[in-house]
């Protein structure tokens, strides 16, 4: 049976970086059947909602989902009754049960000098942000009146246990569990639960608890000290954009979102760059497509268990950068098309 991948170009630079990513995917998976759906702002324009039932159903029955980015000024609103592109993304993550978001941060030696941080700070960094993705303040009850607003942050023991297992399972040596246990009740439950899962199931892994403000500081002062950073939804969102700068640009960071792969039935993962739709550079053909390409590599690895193909694509990206490829965000002049050609050439 053909491999079915649903692609969601979304908005802004999304379609510009997704098209060459699909070409790469077709090269590695010759029998792939790609099914594209409008999503985010484009779907609001076409259907009045950021994620239609039929798009969600198509994603649920796919082998994997490849998403570029959503959002943009056209749909920016502070009116809680208006649809927003980002609701599509949250609905998709929830609808596919993707509670674990993996964001590997592996600065390439070729880009050590492309970061605003000094080479000696970055050198040797190889960390993984494991972000809880379907709970916390993102999904709690919201309310709004003329004079106040609330966003409730809730975590259950079950939600913390399952993401903790992903974090410990992915660690080579140690986990830094990041919370705000000095202030937040949800963080105190997080800390207790992570401690228990550690003692009962992963005693061979080193565990430390780091308060989120301190973690933000240490990410840029001593990033090498981290292996796995295990954290809740909102903290993981913020810390991963910060960590992206260790690689030189937000345009370099891919992500994989996975759910309960032991459960019966299909469990497609979602693969997307960490960055957004970059409205400020959309339509100019200058977006860095490498985070998108590296998300294809994660799709090959985690979505289709094609490890050697994933490695081949990652090596081609490394090689193209070694040979001098630099898009504008990395201080160069290469266009999206030139970056694509460089990676294709490196693939041989
Ligand atoms: P952003 O990540 O889109 O852009 C931040 C900055 O990084 C901009 O200057 C942009 O030009 C640059 N940038 C991002 N990706 C780049 C790339 N591939 N190549 C070169 N430069 C790149 O964040 P933002 O501006 O805060 O958000 C814009 C919109 O994207 C918002 O609507 C937001 O909600 C949405 N967003 C979507 C996702 C997603 O779809 N997963 C993620 C983050 C933000
Ligand atoms: C991300 C994005 C999303 C998030 C937004 C667009 C809803 O910033 O994937 O990091 O906050 O999760
Ligand atoms: Mn984000």
Q: Is any atom of ligand 2 closer than 6 Å to the C-beta of 318?
A: no
DSSP string, 112-123: GGGSSS-HHHHT
Angle at 250 between CA 249 and CA 253, to 5 degrees: 105
What is the tens place of the pLDDT at every residue in 70-115? 999 999 999 999 999 999 999 999 999 999 999 999 999 999 999 9
Which tokens hold the place of 206? 């080193």
Pocket test for ligand 1, best of 71, 251, 292 (most atoms within 8 A of CB): 71
Query: Structural domain of residue 275, as residue ranges?
Result: 1-99+254-348
One domain for residues 346 and 282: yes
Residue 106 counted as domain residue: no
Q: Which atom of ligand 2 is nearest to the CA of 93?
A: 12
Of the listed ligands, the closest to the CA of 14 is: 1
Residue 248 is predicted with a pLDDT of 95
Split into its structural domains, the chain has a count of 2
pLDDT tens-place string over residues 233-278: 999 999 999 999 999 999 999 999 999 877 777 789 999 999 999 9
CATH for 279: 3.40.718.10
Beta-strand pair 254-258/100-105: antiparallel
The DSSP letter of residue 245 is G
Same domain assignment for residues 187 and 144:
yes
Question: Atom of ligand 1 at shortest distance to CA of 272?
Answer: 41
pLDDT in tens, 164-210: 999 999 999 999 999 999 999 999 999 999 999 999 999 999 999 99
Mutate-to-test residue for ligand 2 from 12, 39, 75, 86, highest number of ligand atoms within 8 A of CB? 86
User: Cα torsion at 89, 84, 38, 135 (round to 10°)?
Assistant: 10
pTM confidence score: 0.97
Ligand 1 atom at minimal distance to the Cα of residue 75: 32
Nearest-angstrom CA–CA distance, 345 and 146: 57
Count Cβ atoms within 10 A of the Cβ of residue 6 and give its class: 0-12 exposed, 13-18 middle, 19 or more buried: buried
- What residues act catalytically? 138, 180, 213, 237, 241
86 lines ligand 2 (CB under 6 A): yes
CA distances from 176 to 154, 191, 209, 246 (A): 21, 11, 6, 18
């Amino acid at each position: 049976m053909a491999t079915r991948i649903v692609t969601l170009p979304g908005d802004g630079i999304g379609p510009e970086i997704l098209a060459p990513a699909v070409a790469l995917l077709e090269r590695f998976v010759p029998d792939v059947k790609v099914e594209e759906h409008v999503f985010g702002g484009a779907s609001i324009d076409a259907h009045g909602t950021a994620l239609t039932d039929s798009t969600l159903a198509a994603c649920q029955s796919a082998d994997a989902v490849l998403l570029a980015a959503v959002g943009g000024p056209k749909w920016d609103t502070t009116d809680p009754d208006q649809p927003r592109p980002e609701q599509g993304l949250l609905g998709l993550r929830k609808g596919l049960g993707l509670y674990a978001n993996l964001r590997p941060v592996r600065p390439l030696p070729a880009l050590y000098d492309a970061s605003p941080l000094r080479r000696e700070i970055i050198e040797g960094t190889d960390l993984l942000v494991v972000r809880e993705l379907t709970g916390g303040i993102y999904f709690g009850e919201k309310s709004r009146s003329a004079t106040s607003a609330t966003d409730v942050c809730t975590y259950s023991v079950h939600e913390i246990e399952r993401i903790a297992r992903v974090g410990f399972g992915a660690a080579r040596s140690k986990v830094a569990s990041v919370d705000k246990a000095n202030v937040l009740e949800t963080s105190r439950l997080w800390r207790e639960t992570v401690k228990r899962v550690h003692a009962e199931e992963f005693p061979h892994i080193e565990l430390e608890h780091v308060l989120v403000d301190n973690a933000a500081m240490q990410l840029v002062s001593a990033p090498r000290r981290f292996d796995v950073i295990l954290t809740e939804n909102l903290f993981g969102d913020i810390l991963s954009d910060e960590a992206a700068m260790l690689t030189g640009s937000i345009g370099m960071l891919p992500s994989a979102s996975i759910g309960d792969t032991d459960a019966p039935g299909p469990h497609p993962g979602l693969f997307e760059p960490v960055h957004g739709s970059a409205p400020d550079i959309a339509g100019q053909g200058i977006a860095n497509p490498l985070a998108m390409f590296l998300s294809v590599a994660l799709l090959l690895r985690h979505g289709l268990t094609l490890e050697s193909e994933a490695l081949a694509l990652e090596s081609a990206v490394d090689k193209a950068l070694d040979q001098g490829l630099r898009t504008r965000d990395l201080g160069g002049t290469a266009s999206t098309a030139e970056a694509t050609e460089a990676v294709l050439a490196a693939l041989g």
